[in-house]
Amino acid sequence: MANTSSGTEMRPIPPLKTYIGDAVASDIPGSAPLRIKDQTIKWFGLLAKAGPKAYGYTMRQRLELKEVSLEPSCDDPENMSVKIINELDVVPGTSSFD
C-alpha cells in the first residue's frame, strides 16, 4: 500500500474534558437532537488538530460548551438553525485590551 502521508505528524487530541467539561452529548442542555450535540463535540475536537502552538488548540481549552439548541433561523423562519452557547474563560494577556 502506498504511503499517503503528507509529511505532517498527527498529534493526539486531548480528552474531551479539556473543552466541554465532563459532559457528553446527553448532558449538554438545549433542544438540539443528540446527533447535533455529538457533532458539536466533534467540531470542538477539530480545534486541536493543528497542535499546541495553534490558536484553536489553546482557545478551546478555555471554552466550555453550555448549550446546543435548534431554533428557527433569524434569516429565514421556515428553516432551522443551531445555536451554540459557550463560556469563555478570559485570562490576562489574551486580549488586545490588556
Name the domain count of the chain. 1
Q: Is the pLDDT of residue 97 over 60?
A: no
Instruction: Judge if pTM exceeds 0.75.
Output: no
Q: How is residue 88 written as a grid cell?
A: 469563555
With a cut of 70, say whether residue 88 has pLDDT above it. yes
**Contact, 45 vs 13, CB < 8 A?**
yes
The whole-number pLDDT of residue 17 equals 43
- Which pLDDT score, from 0 to 100, does residue 45 have? 77
The answer, yes or no, to whether residue 90 has pLDDT greater than 70, is: yes
Please indicate, yes or no, if residue 54 is contained in any of the structural domains: yes
Q: Residue 63: inside a domain, yes or no?
A: yes
Tell me which residue range forms the domain holding 25: 17-88
pLDDT of 15-61, one tens digit each?
444 445 555 788 889 999 999 998 888 888 787 777 788 777 777 77
The answer to whether position 60 is within a domain reads yes
- Phi and psi at 14, nearest 5°, equal -60, 160
Asked whether residue 66 is domain-assigned, the answer is: yes
71 lies in some domain: yes
Q: Looking at the domain assignment, is residue 78 inside a domain?
A: yes
